[in-house]
């Protein structure tokens, strides 16, 4: 089969590149807050005042008859993180309806990369811990990519990287989140209570019907969503929590009911409702929900040299680090390479394999969702949970450093190419001194 003349359709144009660039700038602040919160938690959890940290994290409050008497850490993981997943759901739906995922031929490369980037880390983890079956429950920990952390790093080191590479990373991370959501829903769900699950489904339908019916009102009235949709959304979240399905899935389900395409009566230069909600609620997610979750999830007591040695020797630690740092880039590159070999799909001309390698390393930053899966895998109180969290933070740090090294070199290369193009366009390849007009009489 000849592949010489066939190429995937061109990537989206300036409008979507501009939207992704704006997203990267906005989430860079959230990524920094995430890192600061995690560092603060680690310092406090290993300080002389560590008992106060764990007492705060384990303090329980809520209404027990509704199964809502939870610890502060559980409220952060199940409740606040639902806001993060609501934003993920909005991004997913926008990409499916009007973005890169709406055309299969355009989406196939990052989608394939995302699936391969999930499968290979899981296989590496299983290969490392297979001799201890009790540890296999953590197979999904190294499969997730932290979209906020990853795009924050890219925003800091990739000012001149090509637009298609940024879109590739965003699409890959969004699909990766979708896979992680499916993994949590399927593999990390306890016994399901059908009655609360049915009530949840009804509330989601009501939520979506109201959002569609009154989309113009919600778009032009900022307080309307807080008064009308928030109580319904909270009730849906509570019933899903009571059903046994992990409650963060409620955020995605509710987000998928928000209308994305502009209505026919929409005025020019106005955003659709999903874009309005994304604009309004992202500061809450990036500035409050995710940092608080990281603060209560990342606080691991190392326990001195013995505890650190145990963590280093734990197969869970080795499997998670190897899965994120090695498995992610290997899976992404291998998936894309196999796709281009067995199909007629080709990379966008603006993308180079070394660029994809940098993005593959960047995808090894598995912070927020990986921490959540670590808690679901082994449960609170298990030493393997703490070891997995340590591994996630070490792997995320390694992945961000390695990716930055690759992407900074590529960024300088693209910056130089941009300068050369400007010089060629201006005709300034001849020194100015030789372009001055000759004086009169010469």
Residue 261 lies in a domain: yes
- Helices vs. strands in the chain: H and E counts, helices first: 20, 2
Which residues, listed in sequence order, are joined to residue 60 by a DSSP beta bridge? 71
Is residue 403 domain-shared with residue 292, that is, in the same domain?
Answer: yes
Is residue 276 domain-shared with residue 128, that is, in the same domain?
Answer: yes
Q: How confident is the model at residue 28 (pLDDT cuts 50, 70, 90)?
A: low
Residue 212's φ and ψ, nearest 5 degrees, are -75, -40
* pLDDT given for residue 16 in this prediction: 56
Is residue 208 domain-shared with residue 174, that is, in the same domain?
Answer: no
Is residue 203 domain-shared with residue 298, that is, in the same domain?
Answer: no
Residue 356 lies in a domain: yes
Residue 212 lies in a domain: yes
pLDDT, average across residues 325-347: 90
Residue 282 lies in a domain: yes
Is residue 139 domain-shared with residue 228, that is, in the same domain?
Answer: no
Is residue 158 domain-shared with residue 221, that is, in the same domain?
Answer: no
Is residue 231 domain-shared with residue 110, that is, in the same domain?
Answer: no
What is the Cα Rg of the chain in Å?
A: 24
Is residue 318 domain-shared with residue 196, that is, in the same domain?
Answer: no
Is residue 125 domain-shared with residue 237, that is, in the same domain?
Answer: no
Percent of the chain at pLDDT > 90 equals 21
Nearest to residue 365, comparing CAs of 405, 325, 404, 332? 325
Nearest to residue 396, comparing CAs of 359, 374, 364, 371? 364
Residue 30 lies in a domain: yes
| Contacts for 248 with CB less than 8 Å, ≥ 6 apart | 77, 78, 81, 82, 84, 85, 181, 184, 372
pLDDT, average across residues 67-80: 84
Q: How confident is the model at residue 3 (pLDDT cuts 50, 70, 90)?
A: very low
Strands 60-61 and 70-71: antiparallel
Tokens standing for residue 201: 């489904």
Tens of pLDDT, residue by residue over 35-60, are 888 889 888 988 888 889 889 888 88
* pLDDT given for residue 128 in this prediction: 94
Residue 439 lies in a domain: no
* pLDDT given for residue 426 in this prediction: 57
pLDDT, average across residues 372-388: 82
* pLDDT given for residue 95 in this prediction: 78
Tens of pLDDT, residue by residue over 208-249, are 999 999 888 888 888 888 999 999 999 999 998 888 887 888
**CA end-to-end span of the chain:** 66
Separation of alpha carbons 152 and 27, rounded Å = 6
Domain final residue, candidates 245, 266, 286: 245
Considering the entire predicted model, what is its pTM? 0.75
Tens of pLDDT, residue by residue over 141-187, are 998 888 777 877 877 777 777 777 877 887 888 788 788 888 888 88
Count how many domains the chain has. 2
Residue 210 lies in a domain: yes
Tens of pLDDT, residue by residue over 246-279, are 788 888 899 999 988 754 444 444 557 888 888 7
Separation of alpha carbons 277 and 89, rounded Å = 11
What is the domain extent for residue 204?
A: 190-245
Is residue 293 domain-shared with residue 409, that is, in the same domain?
Answer: yes
Is residue 240 domain-shared with residue 271, that is, in the same domain?
Answer: no
Tens of pLDDT, residue by residue over 279-324, are 788 888 878 888 888 888 877 777 655 666 777 788 999 999 999 9
Tokens standing for residue 53: 């940290």
Q: How confident is the model at residue 118 (pLDDT cuts 50, 70, 90)?
A: very high
Residue 426 lies in a domain: no
Say which CATH number the domain at 51 has. Answer: 1.20.1530.10
Nearest to residue 374, comparing CAs of 127, 128, 137, 36? 137
Contact 348, 10 (CB under 8 A): yes
| Contacts for 258 with CB less than 8 Å, ≥ 6 apart | 90, 93, 208, 211, 273, 274, 277
Separation of alpha carbons 205 and 186, rounded Å = 22
Is residue 234 domain-shared with residue 341, that is, in the same domain?
Answer: no
* pLDDT given for residue 10 in this prediction: 46
């Amino acid at each position: 089969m000849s592949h010489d003349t066939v190429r995937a359709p061109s990537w989206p144009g300036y409008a979507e590149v501009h939207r992704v660039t704006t997203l990267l700038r906005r989430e860079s602040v959230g990524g920094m807050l995430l890192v600061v919160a995690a560092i603060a938690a680690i310092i406090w959890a290993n300080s002389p005042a560590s008992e106060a940290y764990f007492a705060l994290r384990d303090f329980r409050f809520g209404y027990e008859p509704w199964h809502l008497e939870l610890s502060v850490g559980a409220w952060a993981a199940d409740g606040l993180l639902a806001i993060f997943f609501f934003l993920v759901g909005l991004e997913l739906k926008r990409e499916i309806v009007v973005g890169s995922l709406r055309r299969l031929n355009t989406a196939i490369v990052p989608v394939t990369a995302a699936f391969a980037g999930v499968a290979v880390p899981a296989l590496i983890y299983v290969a490392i811990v297979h001799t201890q079956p009790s540890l296999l429950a953590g197979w999904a920990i190294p499969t997730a990519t932290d979209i906020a952390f990853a795009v924050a790093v890219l925003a800091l080191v990739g000012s001149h990287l090509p637009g298609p590479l940024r879109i590739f990373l965003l699409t890959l991370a969004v699909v990766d989140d979708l896979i992680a959501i499916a993994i949590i829903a399927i593999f990390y769900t306890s016994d399901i209570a059908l009655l609360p699950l049915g009530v949840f489904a009804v509330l989601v339908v009501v939520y979506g019907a109201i959002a569609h019916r009154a989309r113009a009102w919600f778009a032009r009235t900022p307080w309307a969503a807080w008064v009308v949709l928030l109580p319904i959304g909270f009730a849906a979240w509570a019933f899903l929590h009571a059903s046994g399905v992990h409650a963060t899935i409620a955020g995605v389900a509710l987000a998928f009911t928000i209308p994305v395409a502009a209505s026919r009566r929409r005025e020019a230069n106005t955003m659709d409702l999903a874009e309005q909600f994304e604009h309004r609620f992202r500061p809450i997610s990036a500035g409050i929900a995710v940092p608080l979750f990281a603060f209560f999830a990342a606080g691991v007591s190392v326990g001195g040299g013995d505890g650190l040695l145990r963590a280093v020797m734990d197969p869970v630690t080795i499997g998670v680090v190897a899965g994120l740092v090695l498995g992610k880039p290997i899976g992404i590159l291998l998936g894309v390479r196999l796709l281009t070999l067995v199909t007629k799909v080709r990379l966008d001309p603006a993308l180079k394999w070394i660029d994809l390698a940098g993005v593959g390393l960047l995808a090894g930053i598995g912070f927020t969702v990986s921490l959540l899966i670590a808690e679901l895998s082994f449960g609170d109180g298990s030493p393997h949970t703490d070891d997995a969290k340590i591994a996630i933070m070490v792997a995320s740090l390694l992945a961000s450093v390695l990716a930055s090294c690759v992407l900074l070199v590529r960024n300088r290369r693209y910056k130089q190419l941009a300068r050369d193009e400007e010089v060629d366009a201006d005709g300034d390849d001849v020194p100015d001194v030789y372009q001055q007009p000759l004086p009169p009489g010469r």
